[in-house]
Amino acid sequence: MTSLWTSADIAQATGGAASAPFAVSGVAFDSREVTGGDLFVAMKGEATDGHKFLDKAFAQGAAGAIVSEPVDHPHILVSDSAAALEALGRASRKRMGGKVIGVTGSVGKTGTKEALFQALDRAHPGEVHRSVKSYNNHVGVPLSLSRMARESAFGVFEMGMNHAGELAALTRQVRPHVAIVTAIAPAHIEFFGTEAAIAEAKAEIFEGLEPGGTAIIPYDSPHVALLYNKAERHAARILTFGTSPQADIHAREAVPAPGGGTLVTAKLPDAELCFTVAAPGDHWVSNALAVLAAVDAVGGDLAAVGLALAEMPGLPGRGERRTVSVSGGTALLIDESYNANPLSMAATIRQLGRETAERRLAVLGGMRELGSRSAELHSAIAPVLRDNGIDYVILVGAEMQPLADALDGVLPFAHVADTASAIPLIQHELRAGDALLVKGSNGIGLSRLVAALADGEQD
């Protein structure tokens, strides 16, 4: 098996100097994630200095390191480790001859990225690379690029941002052949002021398209014209997806599947496909259409997309469904604890309303980075809860006060300061036959509540 990088490769890519010959099979910048054969990138940040963890990284099996000061381990010495990681990512992208897909959007990035990986890997096992976790920022993207084998047939990369200009820099590193915008929502709106400004920033992904590249945009978005106009400047081809028959890739029919999820009949420019999306919810139908568009654009196997979507489980924190033990039986736990914005919050509540259950409960954490519109956007969730038959809600965090005010007299609810207070409350309230949605911004820490309930998980 060939190595991912040799010390000579790394030195050439970064402009650094090698202390000794070595070869690595992986790359990490967190010493806790280092495994045997990895390259450890020791970066200096505001909170800590990766050089302090070099001994730990090598004890865990690191084969070499990128450092900005000499050390007593095999290393590449550079002036700036973070810049060296970016250079290594660019070198990785340059040497890879396959097709690359970039994904961004206010919601659905990680799920769409994972679905693309599953679909492409089914047809090309072992030849598809993707960014892991949500490594989608100025450090995560070059790390994900640097981990890509030169022999990869496909690469799928998630890109995020919370300020203008960030995506432009990331997409020029990724240089996608296909660039997807999944959806636009008022996530991070405190940094932008308007949703249109968010759409402008998301559209920066098209700036890095390779010549002849394809832009994929959501037809149902109120910002479709803005996205289309930006895509026209950089893309040779533009594909739209959505529920409207005017979209290039659209769902002609979407009905609940007998075993859960959604049965979809999708129309593409040159094909029609019927498949099941295992993950429930209208938002997953939209993600599936974007996946179909991208796989079609890179000449992939559309049948493999259908098979992958039918078998793809929910992701932890992003729709994973668990059966947990409660007094008298079991309850359904829907884990959406990783992130939240108004669009995704409403979508998951609507799906909760469709669940067959004795009662439908929700633990909802505050939505962060909404700026001056925070109160308005939180309170707007009240009619969504009311109209979808939600029986009881626990609100977590100070941001939820406007929603608490709006729910007064509408439906039963409790409002607590933090996750620690919510855990015993929901443990006492949850009964056999219930369906429970847990959703909030990651900073609220609702994953701890999920972990507490999952201690009684059933196989």
Tens digits of residue pLDDT in 82-132: 999 999 999 999 999 999 999 999 888 999 999 999 999 999 999 999 998
Q: What is the mean pLDDT of residues 337-345?
A: 89
Question: Which of 261, 281, 311 delimits the end of a domain?
Answer: 311
pLDDT at 214 exceeding the cut of 70: yes
- Whole-angstrom Cα distance, residue 129 to residue 299? 17
Q: What CATH number should be reported for the domain holding residue 324?
A: 3.90.190.20
pLDDT at 457 exceeding the cut of 70: no
* pLDDT for the residue numbered 456: 57
- Whole-angstrom Cα distance, residue 250 to residue 289? 7
The mean-pLDDT minimum among 112-116, 271-275, 279-283, 433-437 falls in 279-283
Task: Give yes or no: residues 290 and 366 share one domain.
Answer: no
Q: For all residues of the chain together, what is the average pLDDT?
A: 93
Q: What is the mean pLDDT of residues 142-147?
A: 97
- Structural domain span for residue 61: 5-80
Alpha-helix residue ranges (DSSP H) falling in 71-108: 81-95
Q: What contacts 433, CB < 8 A, 6 or more positions away?
A: 329, 331, 357, 358, 359
Task: Give yes or no: residues 118 and 266 share one domain.
Answer: yes
Q: What is the mean pLDDT of residues 136-147?
A: 95
Question: Which of 311, 338, 369 delimits the end of a domain?
Answer: 311
If one compares 172 and 280, the residue with the highest pLDDT of the two is 172
* pLDDT for the residue numbered 399: 95
pLDDT at 459 exceeding the cut of 70: no
Question: Which of 45, 80, 115 delimits the end of a domain?
Answer: 80
Residue % of the chain over a pLDDT of 70: 98
Q: Is 236 within a domain?
A: yes
Q: Is 90 within a domain?
A: no
Task: Give yes or no: residues 198 and 306 share one domain.
Answer: yes
The mean-pLDDT minimum among 175-184, 304-313, 357-366 falls in 304-313
Q: Is 86 within a domain?
A: no
Task: Give yes or no: residues 373 and 270 share one domain.
Answer: no
Name the token pair of 429: 């309230």
Task: Give yes or no: residues 114 and 30 share one domain.
Answer: no
Q: Is 405 within a domain?
A: yes
Contact 112, 287 (CB under 8 A): yes
Total domains in the fold of the chain: 3
Q: Is 87 within a domain?
A: no
* pLDDT for the residue numbered 296: 96
Task: Give yes or no: residues 151 and 283 share one domain.
Answer: yes
- Whole-angstrom Cα distance, residue 318 to residue 334? 9
Q: Compute how many other C-beta atoms are within 10 angstroms of the C-beta atom of residue 458.
A: 11
Q: Is 234 within a domain?
A: yes
